[in-house]
Structure 1
């Protein structure tokens, strides 16, 4: 049974979702003297922050720019990311005691390697700024009336309502269900007549089934530096073979650009040319076996796996021109047709979401619904692996806070 409607005049806005975007929004609003209420369905805020980067939290990327984001409108994120830059993120966290250290490819982690330190910055600031956080609170519905918005929620088994002028939807995307992920943000958008761009798991391992599966299964645990590409993008990082298919940074990256039914290409030796190596080595020692050469380039297990598709029993001098071409094609244009992906529970983020055309790029307010804002993962802005999605979360939280 729903309690009587509560008129909430104390809060400038109610933020639904206590993740990266919602927490940054609450803190930045506090700096501007605005009071907000954060409603979080879990028993604590920052659940996804806490597990990110294996509990270490890759909280931004030094090279972050709009080019590393996937969206129906590539230009949409430019405004928010100009208002809150990578330097702003670094400075913000340094101000509150978190020094960053760069790992690979511009990825910035706290020097302590503890994601909880990131969350504690926000919980501490929310406390200092007297911003209110209600955990264990499930929002059932967002409706509109003549006074603004009515939020129906359940807390500690009791249902009640709140009245507010402005609502921020920072409820995340569909990964990861055990952390309370739902399609809430998209449902609210559709309820108010906003378009939602088709969603799919992103930064997700890919599966291999059928006759090729045993080959990948045999290589489970092998990691190889490769270039992986399709028509949409190209990445040079490690791939990891698993008993169900492919994972590793390069695969997670390309998965955001892959669609079912498509092939992906893998260069198994991106910084060298196998044909040149064969010719050079043949001139030195033509009796050397191809298997022996492959053993210097890869793990023994991987070299042996390639033997099923290459003339490894031959010495280099006896390789024909056609055989060398066959070797070159396999090594530099290894083709894979994934059967699917591992789904939202293994995905880092969600692709798609609330359509960018429905939102102001400057404030993230819904154009058709004044007072309703969307930020973070539920918006159709998806970053690469490596701290980019956190940078979008901080930036979107910041710009919303300026306007609420």
Structure 2
């Protein structure tokens, strides 16, 4: 049974999770004069923010649009992104001392700063705005109460307690990464209240190889190559990284969000050149040049040598037959990969799927049939590409919810 509330424990909303969405929601609510309480089961806020981008935090992307997001409803995120834009994110962080530096492909990182500086912006604002955050508070359950609000039960320092509020914001993240305390809490809450959950899976995750091809990948381990990677759903041009267990790197992480076990992906390992035309041209100049020499000029020596099992690298360019050229072209421009699986949630950047967008208002992120219950951030079926897109969704969803609690 909930205790009698004093003024100090009267809140307009209880926010579950001190991640990107929860922190932004609490701050924006504070700007509007609303009082919130964040319950966070870790001993510090912003756990995923702190490790993102190798500790540098790629906090938004200049090119953000709904096109970079995966969802059962691709239009769902449009309203949030119209209410809180990339320019809003940039201006917000600049106001508090963080200027963005673009690295590649529109990715913004704190110039001269780190992820901890991003978290500090929020913790300082929470203090200044008088918002509450209770760390080491594991939320156990959420129930409705007689007055139309919610009772949130939680455990803190070994003691189980309950607190009430008119609104609850579930910003508890997705299933990656368990060592940071990730759980399926958001999906469990949704199901408890009768809301649909879109099938979840690891996204932005390395892919694994098994069987007879594995030793070849082992030979290439550590090789990073600029490629085009594609399937029938999407295509990306960025680096891939060969490992002793399979494939990683930005392009592989990107395509993994559009991949399911049993499906193939394809790799063009020379996307800006035509290998057949290049060989033909070089052969006219120096037909005695070995294919291995030509490939070593395009890739690393290690990579060129590893191709010996699959290509006639010891032949001269002038002696390559039409069949040889077809083999080379197929391998370098249409390399087929049938991945065995992926590295799982502990190596995934984000989760695909989550609370169904059918259940939520796109304008407010409130559950359509449960007034006062909001879902934001990663636990919603809105999954962005690699490169700051998921942070932009977290900031935007946190802002939108704050306007409506």
TM-score for the superposition, normalised by structure 2: 0.98
Q: Are residue 95 (structure 1) and residue 95 (structure 2) matched? A: yes
In the TM superposition, what whole-angstrom CA distance separates every residue of 1:39-90 from its partner, at most 9, and x where no partner exists? Answer: 0000011011001000000000011111000000000000000100000000
For 1:147-205, what per-residue CA distance to the aligned partner results, in whole angstroms no more than 9, with x for missing partners?
Answer: 21111101111001111110000000000001100000000000000000000000000
Q: Give distance in 2, aligned partners of 1:271 and 1:174.
A: 37
Following superposition of structure 1 onto structure 2, how do residues 40-119 of structure 1 map, counting pairs within 5 Å? 40-119=40-119
Query: Cα RMSD over matched residues?
Result: 0.9
| Aligned mates of 2:129, 2:145 — CA distance in 1 | 30
Q: How many angstroms apart in 2 are the aligned matches of 1:4 and 1:114?
A: 41
Written as runs of structure 1 = structure 2, the 5 A alignment for 1:221-300 is 221-300=222-301
Query: In 1, distance between residues paired with 2:145 and 2:113?
Result: 46
User: Is the 8 Å Cα contact of residues 57 and 113 (structure 1) preserved in structure 2?
Assistant: no
- Tell me, in whole angstroms, the C-alpha distance in 2 between the residues paired with 1:302 and 1:98: 41
How far apart in 2 are the matches of 1:13 and 1:65? 29
SS in 1 for 2:105: helix
Q: Secondary structure at the match of 2:353?
A: strand
Aligned to 1:162: 163
How far, CA to CA, are the matches of 1:243 and 1:113 in structure 2?
Answer: 34
The answer to whether residue 337 in structure 2 is matched with residue 332 in structure 1 is no
Counterparts of 1:224 and 1:327, CA distance in 2 = 17
In the alignment, what sits opposite 2:24?
A: 24
Q: Is the 8 A contact 1:8 1:163 kept in 2?
A: no
Question: CA separation in 1, counterparts of 2:282 and 2:361?
Answer: 60
d(CA) in 2 for partners of 1:292, 1:153:
65
Against the structure 1 CA distance between its residues 12 and 88, is the aligned structure 2 distance closer, same or farther, given a 3 Å change threshold?
Answer: same
- Structure 1 match to 2:39: 39
Q: How many Å apart are 1:219 and its aligned residue? A: 1.0
- Please give the secondary structure, in 1, of the residue aligned with 2:144: strand
The Cα of 1:6 is off from its aligned counterpart by 4.0
Match in the other structure for 2:3 = 5
Q: Residues of 1 paired with 2:72 and 2:190: CA distance?
A: 17
Q: Note closer, same or farther for the CA distance 1:61–1:221 as it changes in structure 2 (3 Å cut).
A: same
Could you tell me whether the CA contact under 8 Å between 1:39 and 1:137 is conserved in 2?
yes
Structure 2 alignment gaps of length 5 or more: none
Deviation of 1:4 after TM superposition, in Å, equals 4.8
Residue 4 to residue 34, structure 1, CA distance change in 2 (3 Å) = closer
Structure 1 unaligned runs (5+)? none
Contact residue 149 and residue 167 of structure 1 kept, 8 A: yes
SS at match of 2:374: strand
How many residues were matched structurally? 402
Distance of 1:310 and 1:113 partners within structure 2: 46
Give the Å deviation of 1:7.
3.8
Q: Name the CA distance, whole Å, in 2 between partners of 1:113 and 1:351.
A: 29
* TM-aligned CA deviation for residue 5 of structure 1: 3.3
Distance of aligned partners of 1:141 and 1:53 in 2 relative to their CA distance in 1, 3 Å threshold: same
Hey, what's the Cα distance between the residues in 2 that align with 1:182 and 1:16? 12
Q: 1:112 Cα shift?
A: 2.1
Distance 2:302 2:59 in 1: 36
8 Å Cα contact 2:12/2:36 also seen in 1: yes
Is 1:353 equivalent to 2:351 in the alignment?
Answer: no
How far apart, in 1, do the equivalents of 2:363 and 2:393 lie? 13
Matches within 5 A, 1:72-221: 72-147=72-147, 148-221=149-222
Deviations 1:206-229 (A, max 9, x none): 000111111101111110000000
SS at 1:296 equivalent = helix
Q: Give the C-alpha shift of residue 8 in structure 1.
A: 6.7
8 Å CA contact retained: 1:363, 1:403: yes
SS in 1 for 2:183: coil
Q: SS in structure 1 opposite 2:226?
A: strand
2:267 partner SS: strand
1:368 CA displacement: 1.1
Aligned pair 1:304/2:305, yes or no? yes
Deviation at 1:269, TM superposition (A): 0.2
Three-state SS of the structure 1 residue aligned to 2:344 is: coil
